[in-house]
Amino acid sequence: MSDTHLAVARSVAMVGLDGHIVDVETHVGRGLVAFTLVGLPDASLREAKDRVRSALQSCGIEVINRHITVNLSPAGLPKSGSGFDAAIAASVLMAAGKLPQRALDRTVIIGELGLDGSMRAVPGVLPALVTARSQGITRAIVPAESAAEARLVSGIDVDAFEHCADMVNALGGRAVRPVAYGGGSLSGGETSSQRKPVLGAAIDLSDVRGQDFAVNALTIAAAGGHHVFLVGQPGSGKTMLAARLPTILPQLDDEAALTVTSLHSIAGVFRDRQELIRTPPLQAPHHSATMAAMIGGGSVRIIPGAVSLAHAGVLFLDEAAEFPSAVLNALRQPLEEGVVTIHRVRGSAQFPARVQLILAANPCPCGGGRGRGRACTCSSIVRRRYLARLSGPLLDRIDITIGMRVPTRADLARTAAPSSSLVRDRVAEARQRAIHRLKDTPWRLNAEVPGRWIREHSGIDTALVTRLDRAIDQGSVSMRGADRVLRLMWTLADMDERRKPHFDDLAHALTLRTGGPDGADF
């Protein structure tokens, strides 16, 4: 055995979307045979020593016969998960003289080890390598299953291995695969790249008929990034309309695509993908979703919730009045700030959460209406209590309310709504006009602009502001609601290619706030 008793390999610890380079330091010395892991590991990470021992023995390497101490530095940073296994194995082998000391210069290793030595994928490879690149790392070693995800990060050479023995041999050591090892976990020798995803039928805005006002309002919402509340009888098309909002949103730019893909990677739902997520995501949690499922959490490893997985896309809450009030009210801060901060005893994590919120609800528990079709059997008190489950502060953050009714046969006979591609082009043009107007500000969408800035710096006519302030004095809108009307007015002007809003935009924006021509139905 070599005189070398110390070695260092590197890996990455993720806390939210923030990564930290971790030095995996190993000391092999005299004493009773033992394998000690220190450096604030959690329970799953403390078990790494048993996985590493079995994996190395499966590769024909017996080094765990000395007193081995592995330190994960910085020691004060909480660490969790099985992604440090491969780095611990490499560090132990270097300290034991089984690998060259400089085999891992400017290299990070991420991956879990099976007892047979197989290397297995772990969540968060993409954001981990983004962190590594920013720290001057030029090479990454990952499991073969994570190769496609790792290669999405430019500027880093990626070596991907199916088995620990392959990694050891590539680094200059000597190891053998166990005879029983089948070369992968997929049955029949099928690789992940050979499996074809099952795609559902493509959806398009042109599927919608008889809801002209709702389609136009949804287009305005897409152009300005405004939150929407759809309310109406069952069968009026609320879910159908909401599901098509992502199809009229522009594709994500490089920065947004990298952030969205990183969030899905940390959550463990980004697999077998060859490129960044470019389509605005849609998250539609069931109304039984818990606070942790909606906002994010975890007792050890903090993972993003639905509101963060919908970042740069759409969060759709169908049957919104059935959600627990505490879960709905927890969305108020993310809607205002665009981020979620989750605090735990061992630390905190922050995830981006800038979404377009779409709420959909029936006007009452029975789902009936006061017009055509099945009559409502609910009393006025029951109806008020039902929608009162949606708190005033939450609804005050909604820019557009769309009252929907079940379309008639005459409605269905009308020309269908325009295709998603045509509407998406119109939305993109309106957004570009907003970006040009806001080029010297930190905002890109009208929905993000503070009302005070609009009043003082946007060049809007003072007569319009005075008229709106009069509505505040009369109690027609709140202060927050007035700011949202101002943002809607600018979106309407951008849609019509006008330099600034006028009085028609004020009337239209107020109509959108109150529910449109069918708003009286609820």
- The domain that holds 55 is classified in CATH as 3.30.230.10
Tell whether 372 is covered by a domain: yes
Residues 275 and 169 in one domain: no
pLDDT band (50, 70, 90) for residue 180: low
In whole angstroms, give the CA distance from residue 180 to residue 198: 32
Domain final residue, candidates 186, 209, 240: 186
Q: State the pLDDT at residue 383.
A: 85
pLDDT band (50, 70, 90) for residue 199: very low
Q: What is the mean pLDDT of residues 398-423?
A: 88
- The DSSP 8-state label assigned to residue 115 in this structure reads T
| Number of Cβ within a 10 Å radius of residue 35 | 18
Residues 132 and 281 in one domain: no
pLDDT band (50, 70, 90) for residue 285: very high
Residues 250 and 174 in one domain: no
Q: Which helix (H) or strand (E) holds 107?
A: strand 107-109
Counting residues of the chain whose pLDDT is more than 90, the rounded percentage is 70
Q: State the pLDDT at residue 374.
A: 65
Residues 180 and 237 in one domain: no
The predicted model scores a pTM of 0.89
Tell whether 140 is covered by a domain: yes
Q: How does pLDDT run across 224-235, given as a tens digit for each residue? A: 999 999 998 888
Q: For residue 347, list its beta bridge partners.
A: 344
Tell whether 522 is covered by a domain: no
Residues 364 and 290 in one domain: yes
Contact 141, 166 (CB under 8 A): no
Q: Which of 22-26, 60-64, 90-94 has the lowest mean pLDDT?
A: 60-64
Residues 18 and 90 in one domain: yes
71: containing domain = 6-186
- ∠ CA 88-92-96, rounded to 5°: 175
Residues 250 and 383 in one domain: yes
Residues 179 and 33 in one domain: yes
pLDDT band (50, 70, 90) for residue 471: confident
Residues 103 and 43 in one domain: yes
Q: Which of 26-35, 194-203, 239-248 has the lowest mean pLDDT?
A: 194-203
Residues 355 and 235 in one domain: yes
Domain final residue, candidates 154, 186, 218: 186
Q: State the pLDDT at residue 422.
A: 96
Tell whether 117 is covered by a domain: yes
- ∠ CA 346-290-269, rounded to 5°: 75
Domain count, the chain: 2
Q: State the pLDDT at residue 197.
A: 40
Q: Answer yes or no: is pLDDT of 191 > 90.
A: no
Tell whether 177 is covered by a domain: yes
Residues 278 and 369 in one domain: yes
Q: Is 160 helix (H, G, I), strand (E, B) or coil?
A: strand
Tell whether 379 is covered by a domain: yes
CATH number at residue 248: 3.40.50.300
Tell whether 473 is covered by a domain: no
Residues 161 and 239 in one domain: no
Q: State the pLDDT at residue 490.
A: 97
Domain final residue, candidates 337, 367, 398: 398
Tell whether 520 is covered by a domain: no
One-character DSSP codes across 413-468? TSPPPPPHHHHHHHHHHHHHHHHHHTTTSS--SGGGS-HHHHHHHS---HHHHHHH
Q: How does pLDDT run across 235-257, given as a tens digit for each residue? A: 889 999 999 999 999 999 999 99
